[in-house]
Amino acid sequence: MAQHVYGVDLGTSNIKLYNSSGDTVLNEKNIIAIKNRKEVFSFGNSAFDMYEKAPENIEVSFPLKFGVIADIQNMETLFNCFYKKINGGKNVTGADFCIAVPTDVTEVEKRAFYDVIMDTRIKLHKITVVEKPIADAAGVGIDVNSPNGHLIVNVGYDTTEISVISLGGIVLSKLIKTGGSRLDDAICNIIRKKYNLVIGSRSAEQVKIALADAINEDKDKTAMTYGRNIVTGLPNAREISGELVHEAISEILHQIIENIKVILERTPPELSADIIARGIYLTGGSSEIKNIDKLITSETGLKVNVVEKPSESVIRGIAKIVKEPELSGLMYIPREKQYD
């Protein structure tokens, strides 16, 4: 293996890069600002500060949609920017890369993740891929090579990936287009309907972080949000209650739980016994909603294991896989015929 090894987790909302030489992780918004259609004006967290605020000549966009690459050219440009940043501006050559890819997507969509690294200007040594649920499991401390069954639920920004793993492989996996962005949209819609107030997705996200609770309808807990009144057309502010936010997100959270139940119904009995004993592992940035673990437990009867920094569990897993020789078999080099 090369002296420098990099782990790559391309998420819809955030990009996570791991650098083995310093054992460091870069976690920033996966967003780019392009000025006059050709010049990189900003990227990452600083570009996110411009989101929904930029003038017409600056296009601010996320290259990933619903867990897959929608704009490969901007993704390649963005990856080059982040690669230089994690190396302190240096151009490191001859490195190995390990990329996490979603499981329940087409082979062409999987190939796009590989091509982003392959087609960059980086002089690399080797690229391997690992299935995202496997890296996720390794990141939360599961012995992925054991014959025991484990259920991983990764609630991301645009998608939720529900997977059963055993013996270093994926037994069942389901990717649904429901995640944190759907919750933000629901909050926008209910505020517009109740108060005639149009707010942006960033404002909705701030309301969600402040008030979202999967179980409790707290009338007394409030947060101020700002937007434009539909009737008057003027800027306006409103105090939003926890009860209203709970009403907005409740149905979407139950959709996620219904899909967890679908996977549980399809799980072989012996693996089901393991899952009952060990519970569900909940990861992904949107899993940090208050009491979501208790809601899943009440609906499924299974205990839920909440992990520290759930948004970084995949990149932690990649770091573990590239460092520990006994886990190297989880990585593979994709063959061309897999993508024909």
**pLDDT, tens digit, 9 for 90 and up, residues 309-323:** 999 999 999 999 999
Rounded to the nearest 10°, the torsion over CA 154, 315, 50, 245 is 20
Rounded CA-CA distance 286/184 in Å is: 11
pLDDT (0 to 100) of residue 340: 43
Model confidence pLDDT, tens digit, residues 201-224: 999 999 999 999 999 888 889 999
For the chain, what are the domain ranges?
Answer: 5-136+314-339, 142-306
Residue whose token pair is 């969600």: 208
Question: Per-residue pLDDT tens for 266-293?
Answer: 999 999 999 999 999 999 999 999 999 9
Q: What's the whole-number average pLDDT of the chain?
A: 91
Residues 124-144 pLDDT 10s: 888 999 999 999 999 999 999
pLDDT bracket for residue 37 (50, 70, 90) = confident
Report pTM.
0.90
Record the tokens describing residue 225, joined without a space.
């949000």
How far is Cα of residue 206 from the mean position of the Cα atoms in its chain? 18
Mean pLDDT of 291-310: 94
Two structure tokens written together for 272:
């089901």
Q: How many CA atoms lie within 13 A of 97 on its CB side?
A: 27
95 — pLDDT class (breaks 50, 70, 90):
confident
In terms of C-beta distances under 8 Å and separation of at least 24 residues, what long-range contacts does 243-246 make, across chains too?
243/217, 243/218, 243/219, 244/190, 244/191, 244/194, 245/187, 245/207, 245/208, 245/211, 245/212, 245/213, 246/212, 246/213, 246/214, 246/216, 246/217, 246/218
- Tell me the longest C-alpha to C-alpha distance in the chain: 64
- CATH for the stretch 142-306: 3.30.420.40
- Fold match between 5-136+314-339 and 142-306? yes
Does the domain at 5-136+314-339 match CATH 3.30.420.40? Answer given as yes
- Mean pLDDT (whole number) for 21-30: 92
Q: What is the pLDDT of residue 1?
A: 47
How far apart are alpha carbons 34 and 43 in whole angstroms? 9
Residue 32 has pLDDT above 90, yes or no: yes
